[in-house]
């Protein structure tokens, strides 16, 4: 009998799965989080960024970006990844996980670009990218040092099977910065994040909103195993054809479709993922971890049950 964990790993290794893995429905993956406060409803997060909840219908927004000048970078107080509260939350969740039937994913939190612009403000980030690039690289390096330590703690203490890195590099139709700028400022430090996991034999899962197809070869080069990207912005058919067994895609059902789409649109997206995933390389999931109408999730589930099961279990 094949477990959901084993079936998930078949797909990631681009072998024919018994069914299209879908953690939402088959419990094949469990994500645990560390206790570093990356965002809060009001007040300061653990990085010193101030947040405010202005509208009860939406999340909080950053209202103060503390890093104003390049000469502040080296002395800016970064959070310690070794405080007990940081790992205790992850350890508690890991102790409850069914490791026989699910892979355990450690969520590393917000990524290098997001944390850098939160500290600087978006406008200042891009200004520094051209006028103070050395200071910006040093800031990203210091953020990476914290994130690498978090990765090592999650692997050493919680024994995770994969590390989830999140960073939103794209807009709806292109990257937020040129591929060349991304390669100059982000890629070297992103590679260090991935190596912190890869050297322990741990899978690397990267999330990004927006259209990021231009840098998929770079992500493959530096070690991404599973890429969680928006289907409405990226051509999954072309990506699977072009990169073959080099990367696994996770998601496939647009958050937009699950939120405001018709039943026919949900069915269409799920069926297309079921077709793409017959020989591995696809993990079915909503494009974003949001709250959706139960009836929409039920349509997704019924379509997955009907079209996403490929082989009979022994």
Q: What is the pLDDT, as a whole number, of residue 50?
A: 95
pLDDT in tens, the chain (314 residues): 899 999 999 999 999 999 999 999 999 999 999 999 999 989 999 999 999 987 766 688 999 999 999 999 999 999 999 999 999 999 999 999 999 999 999 999 999 999 999 999 999 999 999 999 999 999 999 999 999 999 999 999 999 999 999 999 999 999 999 999 999 999 999 999 999 999 999 999 999 999 999 999 999 999 999 999 999 999 999 999 999 889 999 999 998 899 889 999 999 999 999 999 999 999 999 988 778 889 999 999 999 999 999 987 76
Q: What is the pLDDT, as a whole number, of residue 124?
A: 97
Task: Give the model confidence (pLDDT) of 92-128 as tens digits.
Answer: 999 999 999 999 999 999 999 999 999 999 999 999 9
Q: Reply yes or no on domain 79-229 having CATH 3.40.50.2300.
A: no
Domain ranges of the chain: 1-28+245-308, 79-229
The pair phi, psi for residue 290, each rounded to 5°, is -125, 175
Pairwise CA distance, residues 257 & 267, whole Å: 10
Residue 213 burial (CB < 10 Å; 0-12/13-18/19+)?
Answer: middle
Residue 107: beta bridge partners? 33, 164
**Alpha helix positions (H), the chain:** 4-12, 23-26, 84-95, 112-120, 122-131, 133-158, 179-185, 187-198, 216-222, 236-243, 255-260, 263-276, 294-307
Q: What is the pLDDT, as a whole number, of residue 291?
A: 83
Q: What is the pLDDT, as a whole number, of residue 312?
A: 78
Q: What is the pLDDT, as a whole number, of residue 56?
A: 67
Q: What is the pLDDT, as a whole number, of residue 314?
A: 63
Q: What is the pLDDT, as a whole number, of residue 229?
A: 96
Q: What is the pLDDT, as a whole number, of residue 190?
A: 98
Q: What is the pLDDT, as a whole number, of residue 94?
A: 95
């Amino acid at each position: 009998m094949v477990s959901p964990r084993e079936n998930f790993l078949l797909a990631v290794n681009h072998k024919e799965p018994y069914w299209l893995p879908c953690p939402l429905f088959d419990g094949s993956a469990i994500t645990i989080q560390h206790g570093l406060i990356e965002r809060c409803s009001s007040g300061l997060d653990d990085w010193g960024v101030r947040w405010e909840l202005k509208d009860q219908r939406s999340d909080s927004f950053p209202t103060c970006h503390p890093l104003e000048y390049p000469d502040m970078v080296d002395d800016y107080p970064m959070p310690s990844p070794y405080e007990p509260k940081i790992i205790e939350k992850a350890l508690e969740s890991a102790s409850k996980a069914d490791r026989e039937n699910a892979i355990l994913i450690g969520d590393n939190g917000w990524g290098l670009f997001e944390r850098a612009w939160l500290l600087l403000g978006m406008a200042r980030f891009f200004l520094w990218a051209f006028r103070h690039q050395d200071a910006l690289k040093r800031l990203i390096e210091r953020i990476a040092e914290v994130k690498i330590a978090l990765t090592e703690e999650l692997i050493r203490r919680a024994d995770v099977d994969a590390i989830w890195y999140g960073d939103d590099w794209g807009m709806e139709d292109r990257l937020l910065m040129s591929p060349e700028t991304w390669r100059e400022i982000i890629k070297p430090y992103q590679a260090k994040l991935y190596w912190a996991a890869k050297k322990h034999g741990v899978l690397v899962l990267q999330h990004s909103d927006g259209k990021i197809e231009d840098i998929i070869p770079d992500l493959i080069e530096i070690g991404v195993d599973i890429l969680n990207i928006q289907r409405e912005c990226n051509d999954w058919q072309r990506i699977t054809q072009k990169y073959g067994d080099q990367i696994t895609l996770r998601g496939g059902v647009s958050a937009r479709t699950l939120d405001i789409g018709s039943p026919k649109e949900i069915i269409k997206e799920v069926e297309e993922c079921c077709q793409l995933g017959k020989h591995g390389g696809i993990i079915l999931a909503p494009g974003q971890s949001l709250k959706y109408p139960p009836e929409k999730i039920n349509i997704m589930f019924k379509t997955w049950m009907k079209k996403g099961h490929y082989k009979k279990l022994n």
